[in-house]
Amino acid sequence: CQGETPDNHYQKSLKKQEYGVPDAMLLRYLADQGGIHSCTGKAGSVVFFDCNLMHGSNSNITPYSRSNVFFVYNSMDNQLGAPIAGLQPRPEFVATRDGIAPLKPSRLTLD
């Protein structure tokens, strides 16, 4: 990613992505090295992937809206703190600071 991400990036990032977009040369290199793959599924399918994976999508050509949900899980040793250099903290609905508790193992496993 090139450059700094503005503080209010979350307010418009899903309308038109401008920050963190690779230039054409880097995109070609990544495609040449790893290929291009697509995820397909039936209506209502869900795809989970690490958001650091190079990804993209075409425009939604249906009359139905599309939704994205982003989760970031950190170690309890790496909790969100106060921003550096006097920056304003992200809103609570974007970056939760209150009520943080470790995830507990579930009895349900996918083994």
Structure tokens at 34: 């790893």
**Close Cβ partners of 93 (under 8 Å, ≥ 6 residues apart):** none
Q: Is the pLDDT of residue 62 over 50?
A: yes
pLDDT band at 32 (very low <50, low <70, confident <90, very high): very high
pLDDT band at 79 (very low <50, low <70, confident <90, very high): confident
Q: Is the pLDDT of residue 103 over 50?
A: yes
Can you give the pLDDT at residue 3?
59
| Mean pLDDT estimate for the chain | 78
Cα–Cα distance measured from residue 98 to residue 72, given in angstroms and rounded to the nearest whole number: 15
What's the mean pLDDT in 6-22? 65
Segment 35-60, tens digit of pLDDT:
998 888 888 888 888 877 888 777 77
Terminal-residue alpha carbon distance, the chain: 37
Please answer whether residues 36 and 29 qualify as being in contact, where contact means their C-beta atoms are separated by less than 8 angstroms. Answer: no
Can you give the pLDDT at residue 35?
92
Residue 28 or residue 43, greater confidence: 28
pLDDT band at 1 (very low <50, low <70, confident <90, very high): very low
